[in-house]
Amino acid sequence: MRTRTYRTALLSTLLLAGCTPRETMPELTDRVFAVAAAQYEQLEGRLTDETLPRSAASDGKFIPSNIRWWCSGFYPGSLWYIYEYTGDKTFRELAEKNTFKLYPLKQKGTDHDLGFQMNCSFGNAYRITGEQKYLEPIHTSARVLAGRFSPVTGVIRSWDFVRKGRDWKYPVIIDNMMNLEHLYNAGLLFGDDTLKSVAVTHANTTLCNHFRPDFTSYHLVDYDPADGRVRRKETVQGFSDESAWARGQAWALYGYTMMFRLSGYECYLNQAENIAGMLLERLPDDGTEFKWS
């Protein structure tokens, strides 16, 4: 019930502008899931056994992705949420089918996105159904992801590539907080304290190094893999190195809220509350748009 409550609150917040004055929260949620069910069923007809939805071109042409795209777990994850809410077995079948498309990823150790990909798909599949067939990919992929952790830096390396014009040695992006959910859940499922320890250590190191005094986060912190010192702090996808890249702040808020929920450590709740406070301060009185400096 807690997961459904979180999801319902999120959906209602995002779609509040479309809520009529007389529409209750259950009515709004039902409407949102009805639209989602119709749209996702249409998407399925555009896929092959090896593709997932990605986007649409300016002319409306459908653009698919392969399983290695970093968002590939979101489609099966959304199908599991639709099944969980509606109980429609059609969506359970579609969710299972698209989840197992990602099975080959369980050994992918080339970046940190493995947590996104496997937790949204296999993680939700096991959480909702309890079926044992989902367990092995969860454990295998969590151990592979944990293999990107360095005890010297205290964090999981995000990227193996170096962007042109940069000199990264051990880049870690705030997005990586989202992948800790896969590690911690797997640690709980399999009694694997190493997985939980990696998640906690990464969260602690990120808390120390990624945030400014006003609780905005840098996008990327580059570490020295030899001694763990911070080499540089920058923003790769935002406006500038000292700007608060909007999506990164959302990663941080979710990441520390999630880590508190799983671990119970109060320092994560405090961090999440401080990040939320920073975001709320940037809202205008009517709450319609953010103010970013």
Could you give the residue numbers annotated as active site? 113, 175
Q: 3-state class of 54 per DSSP?
A: strand
Closest C-alpha to 188, from 196, 176, 199, 180:
196
74-86 and 89-100 helices, crossing angle to 10°:
160
Backbone angles phi, psi at 220, to 5 degrees: -130, 135
Locus of tokens 């992948």: 179
- In 3D space, the residue among 64, 203, 181 whose CA is nearest the CA of residue 121 turns out to be 181
**C-alpha span between 220 and 238 (Å, rounded):** 10
Q: Could you give the CA distance from residue 293 to residue 281 in angstroms, rounded to a whole number?
A: 12
